[in-house]
Amino acid sequence: MTKHIKISDFLKQHLQGEHGVALNAILSDVVDACKKIAVAIDKGAVAGNMGSLGSENVQGEVQKALDVITNDIFVEACQRSGYVAGMVSEELVDVIDVADEHKKNGDYLLMFDPLDGSSNVNVNISVGTIFSILKSASKKPDLADYLQSGAAQICAGYALYGTSTMLVFTTGNGVNGFTLDADSNEFLLTHPNMQIAKETQEFAINMSNYRFWREPVQRYIDECLQGEEGDRKKDFNMRWVASMVAEVHRILVRGGVFMYPTDTKSRSGKLRLMYEANPMSFIVEQAGGASTTGSQRILEVQPSGIHQRVPVMMGCKSEIDRIAAYHQVTAKRK
């Protein structure tokens, strides 16, 4: 039987340098939070927590009970290390200023989506948690401290609550995936040095929005749909889960591209830059892939707000380069 390294041992061995001690402590809290969220999701139907609350979050999305429950779990758990000075959550309008007694060494900022894909909980499809860690310029951060580009991230990761619970993260030295062992309640290293396949025949996009897309996206999807008879000379498969974590995890494991482009309905894009697009782009790039808004590398976008939205296209580098080139061609004609 293969012996897998525990995530606690992995963190001690691999987190060195300027941020080593802090990241070890913060990630240990994230690990605890994700374990508790996994339990809350498993018990959701039995506890009667699968329904909607009737309220909306800052995004204008109807909140489910589990959105609030998972947010509370994450906020509470991630104050324990003493290194987090403030947080941003998809579920809350304003930043969370961590109390002084909980941030003795508070030089870091934590941004997160506590329950990505929550529309799937009622139908028992994979959901997740996404997080991003930045260095703060102050132990009493103001809004400007949060508005750093994705390139400034020192850690990003996600938890996937599916057929098994996984935690995948990067600190800028590759991507590693850990699976929660139910017997020991420990995350064990099962997917070391994850890499995105250099070639793919799979894409993920919500085809119902085809008529609203801009020309470069329609061109790319048309080529995929034409298959062997088209210019690409190969058939493609399409997938769509409506959970960013599940989509990106599939790309890390078996390749592909994930697209949530801008369109005539949502001109600024749908996904949030700070706690969805940026952390996932960091992970994808560390795994050998690429990400773009169509006109710009996502990690180079300068944020204008903590809940800013952007178009997102990420995955296999050769395909993302092609999509970006199509956007450039269209832009030159205008």
Q: What is the pLDDT of residues 150-204, one digit of tens each?
A: 999 999 999 999 999 999 999 999 999 999 999 999 999 999 999 999 999 999 9
Q: Are residues 98 and 12 in the same domain?
A: yes
Question: Which of 167, 191, 215 is the C-terminal boundary of a domain?
Answer: 191
Question: Which of 164, 191, 218 is the C-terminal boundary of a domain?
Answer: 191
Rounded to an integer, the average pLDDT of 226-249 is: 96
Q: Which residues are annotated as a binding site for Mg(2+)?
A: 90, 113, 115-116, 276
Supply 236's token pair. Answer: 């493609």
Give domain status of residue 196, yes or no: no
In the chain, helix, strand, coil percent, each to 5? 40, 25, 35
Give domain status of residue 222, yes or no: yes
Share of the chain above pLDDT 90, in %: 81
Q: Are residues 45 and 162 in the same domain?
A: yes
Length of the chain counted residue by residue = 334
Q: What is the pLDDT of residues 4-15, one digit of tens each?
A: 999 999 999 999
Q: Are residues 259 and 187 in the same domain?
A: no
Q: Which residues are annotated as a binding site for substrate?
A: 116-119, 206, 270
Question: Which of 191, 223, 240 is the C-terminal boundary of a domain?
Answer: 191
Tell me, what's the pLDDT at 57? 54
Tell me, what's the pLDDT at 332? 84
Q: Are residues 162 and 224 in the same domain?
A: no
Give domain status of residue 197, yes or no: no
Tell me, what's the pLDDT at 226? 97
How many domains would you assign to the chain? 2
- On the 0-12 / 13-18 / 19+ scale of CB atoms within 10 A, 89 is buried
Q: Which residues are annotated as a binding site?
A: 90, 113, 115-119, 206, 270, 276
Q: Which of 14-18, 42-46, 166-170 has the highest mean pLDDT?
A: 166-170
Q: Are residues 176 and 252 in the same domain?
A: no
**More confident call, 45 vs 70:** 70
DSSP letter (8 states) at residue 277: I
Q: Which residue, among 72, 143, 80, has the nearest Cα to 114 in the 3D structure?
A: 72
Question: With 60 as the cut, is the pLDDT of residue 229 above it?
Answer: yes
Distance (Å, rounded) from C-alpha 157 to C-alpha 131?
Answer: 5
Tell me, what's the pLDDT at 44? 64
Give domain status of residue 149, yes or no: yes
Q: Are residues 210 and 237 in the same domain?
A: yes
Task: Band the pLDDT of 51: cuts 50, 70, 90.
Answer: low
Question: With 80 as the cut, is the pLDDT of residue 50 above it?
Answer: no
Tell me, what's the pLDDT at 52? 56
Q: Are residues 298 and 228 in the same domain?
A: yes
Q: Are residues 321 and 275 in the same domain?
A: yes
Question: With 70 as the cut, is the pLDDT of residue 299 above it?
Answer: yes
Tell me, what's the pLDDT at 237? 97
Bridge-based pairing state of the strands 62-64 and 52-56: antiparallel
Rounded to an integer, the average pLDDT of 210-227 is: 97
Distance (Å, rounded) from C-alpha 8 to C-alpha 18?
Answer: 19
Q: Are residues 156 and 248 in the same domain?
A: no
Rounded to an integer, the average pLDDT of 233-253 is: 96
| Domain at 182, CATH number | 3.30.540.10
Residue whose tokens read 């894409």: 203
Domain range for 31 is 7-191
**More confident call, 185 vs 17:** 185
Rounded to an integer, the average pLDDT of 214-242 is: 96
Q: Are residues 143 and 32 in the same domain?
A: yes
Whole-structure pTM value: 0.94
Q: Which residue, among 258, 274, 265, has the nearest Cα to 310 in the 3D structure?
A: 274
